[in-house]
Copies of this chain bind each other. A is one copy, B any other.
Amino acid sequence: MKNQEFKIAEQKTKQAGLKATIPRMRILQLLENSQQRHWSAEDVYKALLDSGDDEGLALATIYRVLTQFEGAGLVTRLHFEGGTSVFELNQGAHHDHLICIKCGKIEEFFDEAIEKRQQAIAKKKNFDITDHCLHIYGVCALCKKL
C-alpha cells in the first residue's frame, strides 16, 4: 500500500462523505488495484486475509463498508444467478454483463441501441427507470474449445 495510493483512496473516501478509516482504505485499494473487477464479500474477505502483513477485517465490516460504498456511488452491487451479491467498482460508465456458466468469467459490454430501446419501453409505459441490469449467460469462446 504505497503512500500515494493511500492518499488517493483517502481523498475518494472523504469526497464520498465517509471517514477515512483503515478498513475502508484497504477495501477501496483492493478494488482499485486488482485486475479482478467482480467481488463477493467473501472474496474481499479472503483477499485481505491473504494480502501480506496486515490482519484481515471482520466479514461484517466488509459488508458494512461495501454497502456504504454502494450508497456513496463508489460501488455497484450486482445479483447474478446463484443468489450471492457481487460488487464492482464504479469506474467509467454503465455497462451490462456476459457471464460464462462454465468458467465463471464475467465480461462487460455496453450497447447504445439496447439502452435506447429500454428508455423507449419505459417511456411508453410512463415508467421512470432508476436502474437496470442485463445479464447474458452462456458459454464463452474459450470454454467452447474445451
Listed in ascending order, the chain A residues whose CB lies under 8 Å from chain B are 79-83, 85, 98, 100-101, 107, 109, 111, 113-114, 117-118, 121-122, 125-141, 144
Contacts and interface: CB of A to CB of B under 8 A. Distances in A.
Contacts of A113: 113, 117
A49 B125 CA distance: 36
Contacts of A107: 125, 127
A122 B101 contact: no
Given A113-B117, A127-B140, A129-B136, 16 more contacts: A79-B81, A83-B83, A107-B125, A111-B121, A113-B113, A114-B114, A114-B117, A125-B140, A126-B141, A126-B144, A127-B139, A129-B137, A130-B138, A131-B136, A133-B134, A134-B134
A99 to B, nearest CB: 9
Contacts of A85: 83
B144 A125 contact: no
Given A79-B81, A114-B114, A138 B129 contact: yes
B125 A130 contact: no
